[in-house]
Amino acid sequence: MSNPLSPLFTWIKANKLSAFLLAVAAFLILRVYAGSVTPMPYRNFDSDTSYRGGVMMDSNVEVASAPMMAKTGVLPIVGGGNANTVAEIAPSDQMIARTTYLSLKVQDVPEVIRQSEVLATQLGGFFVNSSVSAADEDASGSITLRVPSVKRDEALTQLRQLGVRVISESIQGTDITDEFQDVTEELRILTSTKTRFESLLNKAETIADMLDAQRELLNLQRQIDSLKGQQEYLKKSAEFTLITAYLSTDELALPYSTPGQTWRPGVVFKEAVRSFLVNLRGLGNTAIWIGVYTPIWLPILGGYIWWNKKRSNN
């Protein structure tokens, strides 16, 4: 049975230069599409946060490890401080951590970021982070703020006024009441355990017993401090809402909250033009790379053609 690829191999052998050019063209096309520019995606959390138990947590907040039974039958732990005063907070209302995402078309990205920082401070909040790219033309960027939850609507109203147009807006909420109460209960248990170990330390009669008690006290204190930090973060997450605004002078560079929007021919045309320009620029970039590497590949190609012709003549 003949190989179905035999005609292809025969053609390649007879037209090596054409095959080489086709391979280069294929490489250029793949490189262009692989380097295409895509709009900024939505981020679910700040760059300095992670997700744990359904709530955003700062990366610099140490998360307490699960209680484990040590040889002495007590809870080991993890940093110093006074744990005699544990915040016995039992919220009567639900604690909701809210996050709002905005996409704004603006005229001046750096200026809007500056005004947003001032706005957060005026409302009793604070700046979290920001970024700006392509500051000369078609600038884009983002800014993340925290403002008091009771002033969220006021902050959003003023942020919308800073832009030329609101492209999209979405709000997410997470109920952190149960987690806050769990952390508070863990703190109560650990503090009670620490008190018992302090009593054992005072009654210790041997150096070994004293060292064991001190080691457990240090472990307990570190875990208590970690839980206190987590408890404080949960409380602040409910008291201060997180607002992330994506900014750009080009509407097409902004993310949309919902993909299934009304068909807009004007936007489709702009996307097609932009894709064409991006691909054209990619071809130009690739041509420059090939030109720069000409001293390497051109002698190799010339030598191969010369050797092939010489072999054919012989």
Are residues 266 and 201 part of one domain?
no
114-135 average pLDDT score: 89
Indicate the residue among 253, 273, 299 that finishes a domain: 253
The pLDDT confidence band at residue 294, using thresholds 50, 70 and 90, is: confident
Nearest in space to 55 (alpha carbons), one of 238, 182, 240, 257: 238
Specify whether 214 is located in the same domain as 278. Answer: no
Quick one: 286 and 142 in the same domain? no
Q: pLDDT tens digits for 128-162?
A: 999 988 755 678 899 999 999 999 999 999 999 99
CA–CA distance, 145 with 128 (Å, rounded to integer): 5
Residue 180 to residues 90, 183, 238: CA-CA distances in angstroms? 9, 5, 10
Q: What percent of the chain has pLDDT over 70?
A: 67
Indicate whether 74 and 183 sit together in one domain. Answer: yes
Nearest residue to 231 (alpha-carbon basis) of 187, 172, 174: 187
Has residue 35 been placed in a domain?
no
Asked whether residue 43 carries a pLDDT value surpassing 90, the answer given is: no
pLDDT at residue number 46: 38
57 and 176 part of one domain: yes
Residues 17 and 85 in one domain: no
Q: Are residues 155 and 275 in the same domain?
A: no
Q: Is the domain of 182 the same as that of 297?
A: no
Please report whether residue 103 resides in a domain.
Answer: yes
Strand partners, 52: 55
Reported as a pLDDT band with limits 50, 70 and 90, residue 273 is confident
Query: Could you say which of 205, 227, 253 is where a domain stops?
Result: 253
- Helix ranges (DSSP H) in the chain: 6-14, 16-34, 109-122, 152-162, 177-203, 207-239, 265-292, 294-313
- Residue where a domain stops, chosen among 253, 273, 294: 253
Return the structure tokens found at 10: 């025969």
Q: Confidence class of residue 280 from pLDDT cuts 50, 70 and 90?
A: confident
pLDDT of residue 53: 35
Q: How many residues does the structure list for the chain? A: 314
Position 41 in a domain: no
Find the domain containing 199 and state its range.
49-253
Q: Quick: pLDDT tens for 56-68.
A: 333 333 333 333 3
Domain assignment of residue 115, yes or no? yes
- What would the pLDDT profile of 154-197 be if each residue is shown by its tens digit? 999 999 999 988 888 888 888 999 999 999 999 999 999 999 98
Mean pLDDT (the chain) is 75
289, part of any domain: yes
* Residue 288, pLDDT score: 92
Band the pLDDT of 90: cuts 50, 70, 90.
very low
The lowest-confidence range among 8-17, 26-35, 162-171, 180-189 is 26-35
CA 115 to chain centre: 24
**Domain identity same for 185 and 278:** no
**pLDDT over threshold 50, residue 89:** no
42 domain residue, yes or no: no
Q: Is there a domain that residue 174 lies in? A: yes
Question: Is the pLDDT at 240 greater than 90, yes or no?
Answer: yes
Report the amino acid identity of residue 66.
Answer: A
Question: Do residue 277 and residue 218 come from a single domain?
Answer: no
Any domain includes 43: no
Give residue 218's pLDDT band: very low, low, confident or very high (50, 70, 90). very high
Give the total number of structural domains in the chain.
Answer: 3
Residue 247 sits in the same domain as residue 267? no
Same domain (yes/no): 136, 11: no
Q: Over 102-141, what HEC string results?
A: EEEECCCHHHHHHHHHHHHHHCCCEEEEEEEECCCCCCEE
